[in-house]
Amino acid sequence: MSLIEVSGVDLAYRSDSGNRRHAATLALAGIDLAVDEGSFVSIVGPSGCGKSTLLRVISGLMRPSRGVVRVDGTPVDGPLKSVGMAFQNATLLPWRNVRDNILLPLEIVAPHRRRFRKDKPTYIARADALLHTVGLAGFGDRMPWQLSGGMQQRAQLCRALIHEPALLLLDEPFAALDPFTREELWGVLQTLCADRLCTVILVTHELREAVYLSDTIHVMSARPGRIIAARAIPLARPRRLELTFEPDYIELVHELRGHIEIARAA
C-alpha cells in the first residue's frame, strides 16, 4: 500500500497585493502521485515548476486549492508531525553547536520531548553515532560556521533523521555543493536510508542525482506543474559511484533529459 497518495491536487497562489483580486497563479495542476512506504522517490523538473511547492503540500505546510493528500490513508489537514526536512541552505542554528543543532527535533517531537532532559546522555550518544555515520565524528562541539558547506549539509541530514521520521523530505539539499562533495553525499544519504525504514521524497534538478538515488522518478512540467512522466529505476542497490559510468545508468539519465526537454518546451 502507498504511504502517500496525492490525488488531483491543484495549488493556486493568491497574490494579495492590494485589495483587488489578482488572477491567481496556478503553481500545481492536477497532480496525482503515489509513494510506497520505504521507497525513495525523486521529483525532477525545470526550475520554477512547483517542485518545492509540491513538497510543502505533501508535508501539510501548504493546503492544496483542490484535491487531497493522504498519508497512511488519512487526509492531511495541517502540518504532518515528525517529518524530517532538509533544504539547500543548511539552516543550522548559529547559536548552537553541531550536536545541539542535531538534537533540536528531539526537543520538539512527541515522545522524546518529555524524556529529553532525563535521557539526555542517551540522546547525545545517538547524535554522536549519527555524526559518525556521516563522517563528522568529533565535530559535535564545533559551531556551524566552522564547518564547510558539505559538512553543514551532513549535519542537516543528521538533524532531519535523528528522530527516526517515517518520512524524509529533501528540497535540493545538495544543489549548492561542488560536484565531488555532492557525489560523496549521495553515498552518505544512501547509507543513512539503507539503515532505517524511511520513505524519502527528493526534489532536485540534477538528473544524475535522481537516477543514482531513486526507486522511482517523477518528471514535472513547467508551470503550472503537472506530472508528465514516471520512471522506475531498476538499478540494483547498493549503488556505487562506478555505476555512473555504466551504460544502463547513462541511458536512464538520457531518457529523463528527453522528458525535461519536452517539459521545458511545453
Partner 1 sequence: MNQGLAEKLAPWATAIGLVGLWWLCVDLFGIESYILPSPLETATAIYTYRLPLLANATATLATTLAGFAVAVAVGSVLGIVIGSFRLAYSALFPILVAFNSVPKAALVPILVIWFGVSALPAVITAFVLSFFPIVVNVATGFATIEPELVDVLRALGATRLDRIRKIGLPRSLPYFFASLKIAITLSFVGSVIAEIVAGNRGIGHVMLIAGSDFNVPLVFGALLVVGAMGTLMYAVFALLEHRFTGWSVRVLEYPTGG
Q: Which residues bind partner 1 (CB under 8 A)?
A: 56, 59-61, 79-85, 87, 89, 91, 93-95, 104-105, 107-110, 143, 145-146, 159-160, 163, 169
Cell reading at 138? 568529533
Identify which of residues 87 and 212 has a Cβ nearer to partner 1 in the complex. 87
Q: Cα–chain-centroid distance for residue 206?
A: 13
Closest to partner 1 by CB, 61 vs 243, is 61
CB-nearer residue toward partner 1: 145 or 245: 145
Minimum distance from residue 179 beta carbon to partner 1 (Å): 24
Q: Which three cell numbers stand for residue 144?
A: 556551524
Least distance in Å: CB of 145 to partner 1? 6
Q: Which three cell numbers stand for residue 234?
A: 531498476
Residue 125 Cβ vs partner 1, minimum distance, rounded to whole Å: 21
CB of 203 to partner 1, least distance (A): 13
Angle formed by the axes of helices 120-133 and 149-161, to 10°? Answer: 130
Q: What is the DSSP string of 26-64?
A: EEEEEEEEEEETT-EEEEE-STTSSHHHHHHHHTTSS--
Residue number, 109 or 220, with CB nearest to partner 1:
109
Fill in the amino acid letter for 243: L
Distance (Å, whole) CA 36 – CA 224: 25
Give, rounded to a whole angstrom, the gap between the first and last alpha carbons of the chain: 33
Cell of residue 21, nine digits: 483580486
Question: What is the nearest approach in angstroms of partner 1 to the Cβ of residue 61?
Answer: 6
CB-CB neighbours of 81 under 10 Å: 10
Cell of 1: 500500500
Minimum CB distance to partner 1, residue 231 (Å)? 27
Q: Cell 565531488 appears where?
A: 180
CB of 41 to partner 1, least distance (A): 17
Look at residues 211, 225, 175, 182 and name the one whose alpha carbon lies nearest to residue 40.
211
